[in-house]
Chains A and B, each alone.
Chain A
């Protein structure tokens, strides 16, 4: 048998179902691959080989006993470390939650277990999923498998790299402003951000609640369809979960594309788009034309405001979602002895200078506990966004920033509604450039944010979007193609992606890791 870790999930599943492969063998193959490669890549924050093999053996036993153990039975899967796993550390890449063990499973994790998937481990991410490079993780570095001096993208950097480097056939990421699609593009894999509400957020550690959505990463659209079918669906524990039945995505894939109306987003081919990315995307549009799609041009006129809108709404929600990390009920707490000693010193210093006002303003031990805990527990990017969001929501600024952004968000949504009256899906790049060198934007947050130009709109509008490998730069870095559709058009997106992959071989290239 050829290297198992090179196969698609769909292929592996058929081997498992045919009894030609055991889950134990398969899981072992991936664990070996992780052992061999992950030191170089850093996809995983934690694996538990023993635990994974135990699950695999149980699955094998059930299959041997003639049971039908679920649609993903025996297939290994990697989980982004912002998905809560019962009794197992869930860190969000943050010092704040380094030792946090949730007493419950995320709904998605529950569904995966029920489907028989074998958890391989938890993957690295930007701290609390805030970032586009996975560099803000406090707990590990992740490299781009195509060029380890480059960033893998983010925030689902570990989720994308483990697929690209054959360390897992499937993985789960989360996407708030492009966090699945952008690393998928940078690593040459498929990544889907479903419609807001399609997948339950219960147990996904919130970054920006009205934008966050869980989605699959895989090598092929077919694999992504297989996974989405399992994780999608209504959940009574998430008030924003959509109460709509889940289509059989995999059977829709096979239907021909003929007559598909694709809209090329004018605004996504403007200034700032890298020439190599542009030509790869334009070439892809030609592929669709050959597949029988009808190509027209569409406008999303408020696109230029998307980043500004996003970088108000996301930090505002984040500042509130992250208020709970205060060192009181769980997570990191600063050293209280040092805290009391420091305060005492500061108090006596101020008393000596008779600075009554400063003395009055000195934090109480409790307030200092909060502030010091959060100063030590959070990294720079998280703090920046908390500060930004706190400022934008504070008295006197709410209307100018937050409320204004909510209104522009509506305009962005209306642009999509307008476009989808004309076309089935819109097409364009995922990112303005391929992956960039590690450290190159770390001190320029705004430059980093501007890289989210083409991805944030889908989150703001709540529409689904997929990233598919569509070429490589001269430097050998992958380039991604983005398709976006109206709400609940995941079937259409996957179908379009599937036919593209039948015509192209970009997704079959593998990075050289040895």
Chain B
């Protein structure tokens, strides 16, 4: 806990507002000016806290990306029924007879 308190107080702001804005485009989130302000402050707090990980030597440690260490899980190449078109599109916010509709992707 001690180190945690220290990290909370001591860490300087490292994420700029511009960076937060760049990330918001990557994340496809529209943030208002106020959102950006708050987000920048809060992300800096959290990132500041998280940076304590850097203290820990981990040179020869294998990363652990999975909750369970299993290998070679396969399914057989055997067909199962697909959803009928109408059922597949049932939750679509906007659709025509057989497709999902979105604003034009060209001119992107």
Contacts and interface: CB of A to CB of B under 8 A. Distances in A.
Interface residues of A, number: 76
Contact of B46 (A103, A339, A368, A446): A446
A22 B17 CA distance: 62
A408 B93 contact: no
A270 interface: yes
Contacts of A139: none
A401 interface: yes
Contacts of B4: 304, 307, 450
B20 A387 contact: yes
Given A103-B90, A368-B30, A239 B73 contact: yes
Nearest to B28: A370
Given A240-B66, A242-B68, A308-B53, A387 B58 contact: no
A406 B63 CA distance: 5
A394 B63 contact: no
A404 B68 contact: no
A210 B66 contact: yes
B30 A374 contact: yes
A371 B30 contact: yes
Interface stretch (A106-114, A216-224, A274-282, A359-367): A359-367
A239 B66 CA distance: 11
Interface string B6-22: 00100000010001100
A391 B15 contact: yes
B65 A327 contact: no
Contact of B26 (A197, A390, A459): A390
Contact of B24 (A323, A328, A332, A387): A387
Interface in A354-397: 364-372, 374-375, 378, 383-384, 386-388, 390-391, 394
Determine chain A's interface SS by DSSP, over half rule: helix
Interface in B1-53: 1-4, 8, 15, 19-20, 23-31, 35, 39, 42-43, 45-47, 49-53
A410 B2 contact: no
Interface string A231-254: 000001001101000000000000
A8 B107 CA distance: 62
B79 interface: no
Given A240-B67, A408-B58, A387 B27 contact: yes
Contact of B62 (A332, A370, A390, A410): A410
Given A365-B104, A445-B46, A462-B68, A236 B62 contact: no
Contacts of B70: 197, 239-240, 242
Contacts, number: 180
B29 A312 contact: no
B69 to A, nearest CB: 9
A307 B5 CA distance: 13
Contact of B29 (A386, A445, A462): A386
B91 A100 contact: yes
Contacts of B92: 329-330
A197 B68 contact: yes
A352 interface: no
B56 interface: yes
Interface string A393-419: 010000011011111111101000000
Contact of B103 (A270, A369, A390, A446): A369
A336 interface: yes
A78 B3 CA distance: 41
A79 interface: no
9 contacts: A196-B68, A239-B70, A242-B68, A271-B2, A312-B53, A364-B103, A386-B27, A391-B43, A394-B23
Interface of B: 1-4, 8, 15, 19-20, 23-31, 35, 39, 42-43, 45-47, 49-54, 56, 58, 61-68, 70, 73, 75, 83, 87-88, 90-94, 100, 102-105, 107-108
Given A240-B70, A326-B28, 4 more contacts: A210-B67, A367-B108, A408-B53, A411-B56
Interface of A: 99-101, 103, 196-197, 209-211, 213, 236, 239-240, 242, 270-272, 302, 304-305, 307-309, 311-312, 319, 323, 326-333, 336, 339-340, 364-372, 374-375, 378, 383-384, 386-388, 390-391, 394, 400-401, 403-411, 413, 445-446, 449-450, 459, 462
